[in-house]
Amino acid sequence: MAAKKKETRVIITGFGGQGIVLTGNILGQAATLHDGLHATMTQNYGPEARGGSCSSQVIISGAEIPYPYVEQADLLVCMSQEGYTKNLSALAPGGVLVWDTNLVKTGGHDPSWRTFDLPATAIAEEMGNKMMANIVMLGFLSAVFPAASPEAMREAMLAAVPPRTKDKNALAFERGRERGQGLLESGRAGQGRRRS
């Protein structure tokens, strides 16, 4: 993958127990270990260990990153209603908004944003484990917003999950990726669309 000069800034939001921090770690490791880029990852938890609000902020760049916090995101991924409400204002003009349709209801959006909705939790539940929703989402992102190369994202994911779950997680990643590729090929990617 060619070295990126511009920073790519990502916020992934949800609640404790969804693997939000793991998703951020995978994205950062894909960029650094597999694509040879620089990355930072910071995390934020609510006071509750499980079920409380949490987020992961990832910055990826071809150069050193002087400040590790995302003030304006190029990509905002929302896997909880609270995460959507709290972080929507951080999405930059021209940014990309992705949300889990099972968990988030959205309102009006900046018309410059590209928007994508994915029933990540429902897909994971169909596969027998809703805890893989974050991996479904990661696969989807590898198609619609590859902050790191898709191959790197897949390899970093396989290195991060427990060995006995690798096959199922690989399938979850592919399900998400296929859904994203299908949306792009059909031209159904949203441009400032309104969903509720």
Q: Which domains does the chain have, with CATH numbers?
A: 8-186 (3.40.920.10)
- Inform me whether the pLDDT recorded for 173 exceeds 80: yes
CA atoms within 13 A on the CB side of 80: 19
Mean pLDDT of 136-151: 96
Per-residue pLDDT of 80-98, as tens digits, reads: 999 999 999 999 999 999 9
Residue-level pLDDT at 4: 45
Mean pLDDT of 131-139: 97
